[in-house]
Amino acid sequence: MSEQELKALRVRIDSLDEKILELISDRARCAEEVARVKTASLAEGEKPVFYRPEREAAVLKRVMERNKGPLGNEEMARLFREIMSSCLALEEPLKIAYLGPEGTFTQAAAMKHFGHAVISRPMAAIDEVFREVAAGAVNFGVVPVENSTEGAVSHTLDSFLEHDMVICGEVELRIHHHLLVGENTKTDSITRIYSHAQSLAQCRKWLDAHYPNVERVAVSSNAEAAKRVKGEWNSAAIAGDMAANLYGLTRLAEKIEDRPDNSTRFLMIGNQEVPPTGDDKTSIIVSMSNKPGALHELLVPFHENGIDLTRIETRPSRSGKWTYVFFIDFVGHHRDPLIKAVLEQISQEAVALKVLGSYPKAVL
């Protein structure tokens, strides 16, 4: 390619950038107008609702449907995710609490869902994220709920039994773990490997094969593991890219998770009900009386009405020994007439039924 051609292309890019800049600014002004309209139409004492997850899901879906390339759909949606995040911040910067410290996968999930134009606060424990949302100190919280290799995150499920929360979104993240060391680490004298218990479990086979005699130490998060390694010469950490970059660690081995499709699902929790989008999921908690056939009775209405169950989890109910509650996720919105009828049918048999929320299926 000649210098001349390159120059002409760069002139063209500059002129396109100017147009993009103008269009983004136009869009941002529209968002400001939306905020004005939302505020003007309020009744006395009513609070405006700026963040609309159902609208954001529709915007991202539309982008993906109309995209003709060469950028991929996910890539394009990610760019629009950030534009929307900045536009919303003009209306109201969202405050988000997540399971910290900085550098956790939960932080990455929060950014994937809300974009980067938010005020985010790391919390030391899952229960603290719930409490921060309940106290109204933040708009939303982000917590892990299940991993494709290791299963349920029981702290999260148990927190739903203790707090009244509305689930308003979900996000899935591919989880890649690396073995990380600091600049002072003597890599042939590693005697300890730190990580979160879930991550140690997700890399169990790899550790058995490569470091069978090294002590595995479970700490409160992967980011905490990375932080500890920084100052020690005989230890390594298992953590992801965010933590590796944050603490400036070197990847001694990459992508060491036992299953290549290792993914974690996260939930966005808040106080706001989300209207139907036509492509939603619902999460409920049900407790049944402890009698033969109780679980069968619970599942029949779903089966008979062709409702797609995406997950079922059992936890001790905490209100009696050997009594259980079921966490169920299924496709549909609790305001859909069919789902409404099914939930009514179940509540006639159940000791208690609580809808935790209906929310758009993850777009990104």
Ligand X SMILES: C=C(O[C@@H]1C=C(C(=O)O)C=C[C@H]1O)C(=O)O
34 binds ligand X (CB under 6 A): yes
Residue 50 beta carbon to ligand X: minimum distance, rounded to whole angstroms: 6
Q: Which one, 84 or 286, has the nearer CB to ligand X?
A: 84
Integer Cα distance of 77 and 67 in angstroms = 9
Nearest to 160 by CA among 280, 286, 272: 286
- Beta bridge partners of residue 358, listed in sequence order: 282
Q: Which of 22, 59, 89, 299 binds ligand X (CB under 6 A)?
A: 59
Contact window for ligand X (CB under 6 A) among 15-23, 55-63, 304-312, 327-335 = 55-63
Q: Using the structure block, give the residue that is written with the tokens 């405050």.
A: 95
Q: Which one, 113 or 281, has the nearer CB to ligand X?
A: 113
Contact window for ligand X (CB under 6 A) among 51-59, 104-112, 208-216, 344-352 = 51-59
Q: Which of 57, 60, 63, 84 binds ligand X (CB under 6 A)?
A: 84
Q: Which of 63, 89, 91, 350 binds ligand X (CB under 6 A)?
A: 91
Q: Which one, 114 or 211, has the nearer CB to ligand X?
A: 114
> Do residues 190 and 236 make contact, with C-beta atoms less than 8 angstroms apart?
yes
Contact window for ligand X (CB under 6 A) among 45-53, 107-115, 143-151, 317-325 = 45-53
The gap from C-alpha 132 to its chain's centroid, in whole angstroms, comes to 17
Contact window for ligand X (CB under 6 A) among 44-52, 158-166, 195-203, 214-222 = 44-52
55 binds ligand X (CB under 6 A): yes
Q: Which one, 20 or 124, has the nearer CB to ligand X?
A: 20
Contact window for ligand X (CB under 6 A) among 52-60, 197-205, 245-253, 283-291 = 52-60
88 binds ligand X (CB under 6 A): yes
Q: Which of 87, 181, 339, 350 binds ligand X (CB under 6 A)?
A: 87
Which residues have a Cβ under 8 Å from the Cβ of 73 and sit 6 or more positions away?
63, 64, 67
Integer Cα distance of 151 and 236 in angstroms = 25
The residues binding ligand X (CB under 6 A) are 31, 34, 50-52, 55-56, 59, 84, 87-88, 91
